[in-house]
Structures are given as structure tokens and as C-alpha cells.
Amino acid sequence: MNKIARMLREPAFRRTLGYYVLIFCLGLSAAALGPTLLALAAQTHSRIGDMGRLFFAGAAGGAVGTLLGGRLYDRLRGHRVLGTAQLISGLLVLFVPFAPTLGWLVALLVVKGVSDGLINNGVNTLLVWTHRERVSPYMNGLHFCFGLGAFLAPLVVAQVVDIPGAYRWVYVGLAALSLLAGARMTTLSGSPRPPQAQPGGPETEQSRRIPYGVVIAGALFLFFYVGAEIAFGGWIYTYAVVLKLAPAVQAAYLASGFWLAFTVGRLASVPLAARLSPRQIIAAALLGCLFVMTLLFVFADSRVILWAAALAVGLFMAPVYPSGFTLAVQGLKLTALASSIILLGDSLGGMILPWLVGRVFDTLGPRAMVYLVSVSLICDVLAFAALLRSRAGSAVDAVRPS
């Protein structure tokens, strides 16, 4: 009991827990959109294909917030920036299920995306500043919390999807949780600072220099990965319903199953990250994803394969993001500017591919989602190779965790 009490008093533990709660809320809001797309389309009197604009809007705002974070976190107290962004995000979530038109909904999600970009940039950057070279398992733990939130959101939606208007209460509850988390973060003391800002660590020209080859390769890696993740997780519900592979309730459980497997994979990746290098984890995960997507091509009309594929893709996708981000920043003097450039790939990836799926959904049919996700994963393999090459060329070599 005394050991637990001491751990709770440690500043690093309190910070880490706070970041975990914020990323959990981010996972909830990200995954709530997919299973409520049909309800939001009815609410705004919009076509299903037009709902892809919502992914584009949120990610466009996220790109702005990510770049803005590159300036703010290097200059201001990170916890106040994080808490304020979370409070704004929570307020905007509250208005989502009451937007009367698609235009209003897009505008809300653009501004919410700015806040979410600040949150995503902040929790990743401040966690690295807190744990430094030992960040790998903590990074996987952070993204496990995102997966946990993403799993719970469609599960909750499944309970109310057949009740007219009840989806609104899902957003109201999410808003309340987000506001509480934001209020707590604004009062959390001891914001970590960049390594060169620490006492006894003078900044040199070399420490200021950003290896842009590594940073850009890392951004491309996240671009293609996040595009595949958000497109699959966000559209799998509508994909199953439109192809009549599952009724609405089962499709909501299918989406939740994807995020459940995603969450389990993130949890399993925490001890794996302490034993294997990020490059080993990424290579195995991407190969697994491509194999499963091949099964969806071959057995396109099988409900059993659809369920198996959703679970397997979630499991294999789970460790890719945290391992890729860790690989990109390991050994760097990470500034918020460098972090924001890498995470910009996250925002742009979550904007373009899910939007593109929506554009082709009505014209080429729902199966285009499988093709686009597969192409994005193949491109991610190429970006991974470029990241490894860039690290070797800039003499930034990832160390195997001990």
C-alpha cells in the first residue's frame, strides 16, 4: 500500500495518468463518429457519401492544431494548453448531435479538430519529454488508452442505435467526461520541458538541428497508417450495413469488435515494446494487416470472414502507430516543432483517405473501401522502409529496449 501511495505522489506518474485520460477521451470521440454516421446523415438531411466530409473536416482542423502545438508547447506551460484544448473539445462535442445542417456539423468538427490536434500533439510530446529514452512502453500504454476509448464508443452506441434520437445522449456523456478531464489537466502542475530546456543541459547547434529526412519519413509513415486505420474503423459499420452483411445493431458490434481487438493489441504491445525493437513490431504488424486485407478481397461476401478480418486488422494495426512514432523520435532531441511535423502526417492521413472513401462510396460502391485501405497499407510499408533508410543516413539509430 505504501508503495502504491508513493507511486501516486510521483510527478511523472500523475502526468502520465493525465495524458492517458485525455487520449482515452480522444479515442471515444474519434470512434463515436463512425457508428453514428447514418444518424447524423438523417439529422442533417444529407447523403451517406457526403458524410466523408466530416472525417476531412476533423482532420483538417487537426492538422492546424498539430502545427499550432509545435509553437505553443515549446513556449508555454504544456498542461494549461492541453487542458484548455480539452475543455474546448468537450464543449464542441456537446453541440455535434444538435447541428441542423451538414455545413454546421462540418464547421463544428473543423474547430474541434484544431483542439484535438493540440491534444494529440501535446500528449505524445509531453510523454516523450517525461520519460525520454524509456518512453517506448509508456507510448504503447498511451495508445492503448486511445484504443480502449475507441472500443467503448461503438459498444455504447450499439445499446441505443435502435432508439430514435438516443445517440445524442452518447455525445452528451462524452462531452461531460471531456470537460472533467480538461478541468483536471489545467490544474496539473509540473509541465515537462524539452531536453535542451532542462537545467545543466546547454543547447548546442547540433541539438537544435532537426533531421528532416527522419521527420518527413515519420510523417509519411503516420499519414498512410492513420489513413488506413480511420478509413477502416470509421467506415466498417456503414460498409457492413450497405452491403447487407449485418443489420445496424450487429454492424455497431462489428465496429466495436474492431476497436476491441485494437485495444487488446495495444495492451499486448506494451510488454512487447519492452522486449522487441519498434522496427520488429512494425514489420510483423504490417505484414499481418496485408494478409488479412487479402482475405477480404478473396471472400468478399462472407460474413464470417468480415468479422474475422475486422478483429484481425484491429489486432495487427494496434502497435503500428506508437511503434512508428517511437522509431521516428528515438535518439532525437525532440522539440514540439519536430513532433508537430511528424504528427502532421497523422492529421493529414486521417483527413484524406476517409474523405476519399466517402467520395467513392456512392459511385464505385462500398467495396472500394477495402481497395483504398489496402493501397494505403502498401504505401505504409514503403514509408517504413524510407524511415529506416533515413535513420541510418542521419546516424540516428534506434536502440533496442532493455
- The pTM of the full predicted model, rounded to 2 decimals, is 0.73
Residue in the structure block whose three cell numbers are 484491429: 314
Quote the CA–CA distance of 233 and 263 in Å, as a whole number: 13
Amino acid at 363: T
Residue with the larger pLDDT of the pair 335 and 261: 261
Residue with the larger pLDDT of the pair 157 and 199: 157
Mean pLDDT of 350-378: 85
Q: Give 174-203 pLDDT, tens digit per residue.
A: 999 999 999 999 988 878 877 654 444 444
Sorting pLDDT into bands at 50, 70 and 90, what band is 103?
very high
Domains of the chain by start residue, with CATH = 11-193+204-393 (1.20.1250.20)
Mean pLDDT of 297-301: 85
Instruction: Give the residue among 20, 52, 231, 192 at the shortest CA–CA distance from 119.
Output: 20
Sorting pLDDT into bands at 50, 70 and 90, what band is 355?
confident
Instruction: Give the residue among 228, 315, 313 at the shortest CA–CA distance from 268.
Output: 315
pLDDT of 308 strictly over 90: yes
Residue with the larger pLDDT of the pair 138 and 288: 288
Q: Give 53-79 pLDDT, tens digit per residue.
A: 888 888 889 889 988 887 888 788 889
Q: What is the pLDDT of residue 363?
A: 78
Sorting pLDDT into bands at 50, 70 and 90, what band is 285?
very high
Q: What is the pLDDT of residue 19?
A: 94
Q: What is the pLDDT of residue 60?
A: 85
Sorting pLDDT into bands at 50, 70 and 90, what band is 210?
low
Residue with the larger pLDDT of the pair 29 and 210: 29
Percentage of the chain beyond pLDDT 70 is: 90
Q: What is the pLDDT of residue 394?
A: 61
Residue with the larger pLDDT of the pair 338 and 322: 322
Amino acid at 135: V
Q: What is the pLDDT of residue 30?
A: 85
Q: Give 239-251 pLDDT, tens digit per residue.
A: 898 888 888 888 8
Q: What is the pLDDT of residue 395?
A: 54
Residue with the larger pLDDT of the pair 107 and 398: 107
Candidate from 130-134, 143-147, 185-189, 262-266 with smallest mean pLDDT: 130-134
Q: What is the pLDDT of residue 397?
A: 46
pLDDT of 287 strictly over 50: yes
pLDDT of 38 strictly over 50: yes
Residue in the structure block whose three cell numbers are 459499420: 237
Q: What is the pLDDT of residue 102?
A: 93
Q: Give 214-225 pLDDT, tens digit per residue.
A: 888 999 999 999
Q: What is the pLDDT of residue 266?
A: 83
- Contact of 335 with 343, CB cutoff 8 Å: no
Quote the CA–CA distance of 46 and 57 in Å, as a whole number: 16
Q: What is the dihedral of CA 166, 171, 176, 178, to 10 degrees?
A: 160
Instruction: Give the residue among 25, 26, 24, 34 at the shortest CA–CA distance from 252.
Output: 34
Q: What is the dihedral of CA 372, 373, 378, 381, to 10 degrees?
A: 140
Q: What is the pLDDT of residue 398?
A: 42
pLDDT of 213 strictly over 70: yes
Q: What is the pLDDT of residue 204?
A: 45
Q: What is the pLDDT of residue 139?
A: 84
Q: What is the pLDDT of residue 207?
A: 45
pLDDT of 396 strictly over 60: no
Measure the CA angle with vertex 270, ends 4 and 277; round to 5°. Answer: 130
pLDDT of 6 strictly over 70: no
Q: What is the pLDDT of residue 9?
A: 63
